[in-house]
Amino acid sequence: MSTQTSGLAIETSGLVKTFGGTRAVDGVDLAVPSGTVYGLLGPNGAGKTTTVKMLATLLRPDGGEARVFGLDVLHEADEVRGRVSLTGQYASVDEDLTGTENLVLLGRLLGHGKRGARERAARLLAAFGLTDAAAKQVKQYSGGMRRRIDIAASILNTPDLLFLDEPTAGLDPRSRNQVWDIVRAVVAQGTTVLLTTQYLDEADQLAARIAVIDKGRVIAEGTKGELKASVGAGSVHLRLRDAGQRLLAADLLGRVLDARVQPEPDPLALTARLGTAAGEATAAGQAARALDELARAGVVVDNFSLGQPSLDEVFLALTGHGAHDLRDGSEDEVAA
Ligand SMILES: Nc1ncnc2c1ncn2[C@@H]1O[C@H](COP(=O)(O)OP(=O)(O)OP(=O)(O)O)[C@@H](O)[C@H]1O
Ligand SMILES: [Mg+2]
């Protein structure tokens, strides 16, 4: 099959979808290698779900081309459907049925025998930590359990390509980690995953390559290393003992780190954005040096943390403006 020759699970060129006057997807080119997690990173309304729906043959493109394992999503839609599965912002499981009932029903629909469907359901529920909840109606599940059963349902028949549309939105850190482990396990079995997310750290955790999408366009693409190199190494957050030392601290950090220093609404807090020159490995070293200098200058630091760049920082670096729906009031530079 042409799929293996190109090694690409997804290939789009100039993909377009318009809704009335809105170009929701505005000329997207993607090349997603097989057997990897590919991250589609962007804020609300960027066009992530619309792109996924076109690739999953649920929406008709208005322009451009899209192939899944070499198959045209428009002209070979049935073949595409046979190889993909989708978990997303829309439901696939029945809230009134139990976890077991849902998975058995879907297994039967996919052509498994009664016994095979039961066995597979039990195995998936166990793998996803849902054995205790197997006999409960899905409407009684927590958000994290719900997300896990959604993914379980979508990999009943191991798909070649799995679309995960914001699989961890709204989950607590523990549930997020469980979903991430599941994604890793799915990929280890050979499935390609197209993951949409609004979180850079999620794309960073899971994806080999990332496309940053904004207003229907890909504004950056590359390995996460390449992306981070263009964005910067992250931020240093400080909380001081004495608000009167904040200007001194800001001045010092600005010099030592060659960073943009911003005040926080909290009068004791400061954020310094590390420059793009600081690689991941050196960010911690730079921060340590800055702490050293602060101590020497007599600035008392009560709390310190080193954070990865946020999506907003990625957008700021790439476009000169923040993610268009992520506004906060702390963008002003420290007035010296
Ligand atoms: N069925 C539709 N009819 C009209 N406009 C739509 C429709 N679906 C999406 N849009 C618009 O297309 C744009 C892209 O929406 P899309 O759902 O693809 O964004 P998204 O990146 O998935 O956002 P989110 O992170 O909020 O899920 C938005 O401006 C949205 O309002
Ligand atoms: Mg969406």
Residue pLDDT, tens place only, 257-306: 877 788 888 999 998 877 655 455 567 788 888 899 999 999 999 999 88
- What is the 89 CA–ligand 2 centroid distance (Å)? 7
* Domain endpoint, select from 178, 200, 228: 228
What is residue 331's predicted lDDT score, i.e. its pLDDT? 34
Q: Which atom of ligand 1 is nearest to the CA of 89?
A: 27
3-class DSSP assignment, residue 68? strand
Note the helical H segments in 7-62: 48-55
Structural domain of residue 204, as residue ranges? 3-228
Same structural domain, 249 and 217: no
The verdict on residue 135 lying in a domain is yes
What is residue 322's predicted lDDT score, i.e. its pLDDT? 62
Q: Atom 8 of ligand 1 has which residue's CA nearest to it?
A: 50
Same structural domain, 247 and 298: yes
Same structural domain, 70 and 119: yes
Same structural domain, 181 and 271: no
What is residue 119's predicted lDDT score, i.e. its pLDDT? 93
For β-strands 209-214 and 37-41, DSSP reports them as parallel
Same structural domain, 213 and 250: no
Distance CA 234, CA 94 (A): 42
Assess contact for 18 and 64: CB atoms under 8 A: no
Strands laid side by side in the 301-307 sheet:
260-263, 269-274, 234-240, 301-307
Same structural domain, 77 and 173: yes
**DSSP bridge partners of 127:** none
The verdict on residue 256 lying in a domain is yes
pLDDT < 50 positions in the chain:
1-5, 90, 278, 325-336
3-class DSSP assignment, residue 144? helix
- What is the 215 CA–ligand 1 centroid distance (Å)? 10
Using CB distances shorter than 6 Å, the residues near ligand 1 are: 19, 22, 24, 42, 44-50, 89, 198
Q: Atom 5 of ligand 1 has which residue's CA nearest to it?
A: 19
* Domain endpoint, select from 178, 209, 228: 228
Same structural domain, 201 and 249: no
What is residue 6's predicted lDDT score, i.e. its pLDDT? 58
Q: Which atom of ligand 1 is nearest to the CA of 47?
A: 18
Same structural domain, 146 and 261: no
The pair of three-digit structure tokens given for residue 218, joined into one six-digit string? 């890909």
Ligand lying nearest the CA atom of residue 40: 1
CATH number at residue 269: 3.30.70
Total number of domains in the chain: 2
Helix or strand run (H / E) with residue 102: helix 99-109
What is residue 20's predicted lDDT score, i.e. its pLDDT? 93
Distance CA 316, CA 255 (A): 22
The verdict on residue 86 lying in a domain is yes
Q: Atom 7 of ligand 1 has which residue's CA nearest to it?
A: 19
3-state helix, strand, coil in the chain (%, to 5): 40, 25, 35
- What is the 121 CA–ligand 2 centroid distance (Å)? 28
Q: Of 22, 42, 27, whose CA–CA distance to 324 is shortest?
A: 42
The verdict on residue 321 lying in a domain is no
Same structural domain, 169 and 301: no
Same structural domain, 152 and 290: no
Same structural domain, 137 and 215: yes
Does residue 221 come out as left (phi exceeding 0), alpha (psi in the -120 to 50 range) or beta?
Answer: beta
Q: What is the pLDDT of residues 316-327, one digit of tens each?
A: 777 766 665 433
What is residue 139's predicted lDDT score, i.e. its pLDDT? 95
Same structural domain, 137 and 195: yes
CATH number at residue 205: 3.40.50.300
